[in-house]
Amino acid sequence: QVQLVESGGGLVQPGGSLRLSCAASGFTSDYYSIGWFRQAPGKEREGVSCISASESDTYYADSVKGRLTIFRDNAKNTVYLQMNSLKPEDTAVYYCATDFPRPSYYCSGLGANEYGYWGQGTQVTVSS
């Protein structure tokens, strides 16, 4: 079955780095966009970044531009989110999602409701 599994979260000090992974199985993930979202306690879910199947389109929320980089390794069916210069306000549960089974050429215009499958999330805590 279609499955997305996030990993790489943890506790990090402000200014530190983490690399989140989103491992896909049960479908050919190369053909689909992958998005990263986050939700902090008491706040709405926020779209953080996405990458299209062809990697020609990527998106970053203004709050993370210049600090986060999304990339994919199709040989490993995995999408990564490299997070640098982390801030306490980055603390949240991070989720990855795919637009399978309805692929879009561009991912930057996709809303959360256009992603068909979601992972279970990984906690990122930025604190000294």
- Specify the amino acid at residue 128: S
Structure tokens at 110: 């996709």
The pLDDT, as a whole number, for residue 2 is: 95
* Residues 112, 127: Cα–Cα separation, whole Å: 28
pLDDT at 127: 97
Please name the amino acid found at residue 22: C
Q: Which pLDDT belongs to residue 14?
A: 98
Q: How many residues are recorded in the chain?
A: 128
Short-list 37, 36, 9, 6, CA closest to 21:
6
Q: Which residues of the chain have pLDDT under 70?
A: none
Tell me what pLDDT residue 109 has: 82
57: Cβ contacts below 8 Å, ≥ 6 apart: 33, 50, 51, 105, 106, 107, 108
Res 105: pLDDT? 87
